[in-house]
A and B are shown apart, each in its own frame.
Chain A
Amino acid sequence: MNTLKLLPRWCRFLGLAIVIPILLMCVHNPDVIFGDIPFFSANDQPIECNVLGIFDNSFQYDESGELQIFSWKKNDLFNEILLTLMLIGTYLIAFAKIKSEDEFSSQLRLQSLTSAIIWNSVLLFVLNFLVYDGMFLYVMASQLVSFLLIFSIIFALKIRKFKKGLTHEE
């Protein structure tokens, strides 16, 4: 009996193919998530276009002096696309079926989810007292995907542990 609606197995490999290159780029240069793409020079804006922003760096005022919250601005969408791909990739990895999907693996998923919540909170708690000022923005940005990544790692380790135990049985 398996009541979880999960993605097909191949989604895991697609997710890994998306997430690994982006993670490597982030390790090479953490500013990637804020729009500093390593293979473009600082002035390059590969996907620049007009976008609707809820608010800009500073709230803008129109001619009548009214606060204008919604405004159009020019922005390079490269980092937004990277973040979207990263989110999609981590979802694909976390919620793809494994080879032997059944009620036991559903239980392992639930346990891994609980552990991931705890470890992600511990990580945030520790980093809160170790990273200060502007650098904390990187911590906040990493929190966007860290939970699903931690969940995927814990789940993979649990499955691996049980598969390892199987070889000595029968």
Chain B
Amino acid sequence: MKNSIKVERARNNITQAKLAEMTQVSRQTIHAIESEKYLPSALLALRLAKIFNVTVEEIFQLEEGDV
């Protein structure tokens, strides 16, 4: 599963540290999600979508082989 958190962060001018603070997780969690080493929980995914004011599907997309 790929995600566009880095793009959304750049678009909204939010640093990893700020996003971590807003979602109540650590910066290393945001880094792990961006580098696709960790799949967030549904709760965290919904929080991220709310912060960027987009839907969850716009941030997280299935890749070939995930279906």
Contact = CB atoms under 8 A, between A and B. Distances in A.
- How would you classify the secondary structure of chain A's contact residues: helix, strand, loop or mixed? helix
User: Which of A105, A162, A165 has the most chain B CB atoms inside 10 A of its CB?
Assistant: A162
Interface string B13-46: 0011100000011111101101100101101100
Interface in A39-98: none
Contacts of A170: 15-17
Given A103-B40, A103-B44, A166 B31 contact: yes
Number of chain A interface residues as a range: 10 to 19
Nearest to B42: A1
A122 B26 CA distance: 34
B29 A103 contact: yes
A100 B44 contact: no
A166 B31 CA distance: 7
Interface of B: 15-17, 24-29, 31-32, 34-35, 38, 40-41, 43-44
30 contacts: A1-B41, A1-B43, A100-B27, A100-B28, A100-B29, A101-B26, A102-B24, A102-B25, A102-B26, A102-B29, A103-B25, A103-B29, A103-B40, A103-B41, A104-B26, A104-B28, A104-B32, A104-B38, A105-B26, A162-B28, A162-B31, A162-B32, A163-B28, A165-B31, A165-B35, A166-B27, A166-B28, A166-B31, A170-B16, A170-B17
